Amino acid sequence: MLKKIFYFFLFLFLGVASGFVTYKVILLNKKVAVPEMKGRATEAARGMLRDLGLGLRIEGKGFDPIIPPGGVISQQPETGQTVRIGSAVRVIISEGPETARMPSVLGRKLTDALAFLGKDGLGVTKTIQVHSYRVQAGNIIAQDPEPGEKAGPVTLVASDGPPNVSYWCPDFRLMSMEEARSLCQALGLEPVFGSSTGNPGAAAALVASQKPAPGSEITEGQKVFLELK
């Protein structure tokens, strides 16, 4: 009697197990159509696929001008293709629109920089001129945004060359022509000699008057008119 009961439960177990295996085989061989994932948020797409017995696998990310960050850009298999239950749909996720990066115009001439940025559709909203000993006059010293940063309204800082050196004009009167010339050379001034006698090169000639007057403010490179007698 016990033997019969044992065999009964054994056959019952084998029948249930066989039915389960058969069910799994049928289920795994069943196919479903892949739904449209493009534009859906990642978690929404994952939930939709889960309901169909499919999985979602993120293959990578990319820029898209329309689909917001986190949305599906593309999928494989494509919409409408049939796959076995348990398969995974591979997707590319959006990082949003690609952000333009600021190019470098450092060291360029201001006119060239303006043309270069204008060609890329980047508007220069402000230009600042500053003195610089390092950068040639008219060239770009700095920019905002800096190279590689997110592009936006541009401010350029251009060199105005080294600052002008100013000082008080010395008194050249009663100096000889050579003494006046040497002092002008040391101060970076340009002497212009003249003479009422018509002989400005005479060895004994002395400076009788000058323009600018002694004590006037002058700058490096300025002309100084010296009248000899």
Per-residue pLDDT tens over the stretch 89-121:
999 999 888 878 899 999 999 999 999 999 888
Q: Do both 39 and 63 map to the same domain?
A: yes
Half-sphere exposure of 226 (CA within 13 A, CB side): 30
Q: Which residues contact 97 (CB under 8 A, 6 or more apart)?
A: 63, 64, 65
Tell me which residue of 89, 92, 96 sits closest to 59, measured CA to CA: 92
**Measured distance CA(129)–CA(139) in Å, rounded:** 10
Tokens of 82: 């049939």
Question: Would you say residue 192 lies in a domain?
Answer: yes
pLDDT level of residue 48 (50, 70, 90 thresholds): very high
| Residue 14, domain member (yes or no) | no
Whether residues 143 and 186 share a domain: the answer is no
Range of the domain at 71: 27-94
215 Ramachandran zone, left/alpha/beta (phi>0; psi -120 to 50): left
Instruction: Judge whether 124 lies within some domain.
Output: yes
- Say if residue 199's pLDDT is above 80: no
Q: What whole-number distance in Å separates Cα of residue 114 and Cα of residue 36?
A: 46
Q: Which whole-number Å values give the CA distances from 34 to 25, 54, 67, 193, in the listed order?
A: 20, 9, 20, 95
Residue 5 lies in a domain: no
Domain finish residue from 102, 132, 159: 159
pLDDT band at 196 (very low <50, low <70, confident <90, very high): low
Q: Are residues 145 and 122 in the same domain?
A: yes
Do residues 153 and 170 share a domain?
no
Q: What is the mean pLDDT of the chain?
A: 86
Question: What CATH number did the domain enclosing 216 receive?
Answer: 3.30.10.20
Domain count, the chain: 3
Predicted model pTM: 0.44
The pLDDT confidence band at residue 51, using thresholds 50, 70 and 90, is: very high
Assess whether 155 and 211 both reside in one domain. no
Tell me, yes or no, whether 200 and 152 share the same domain: no
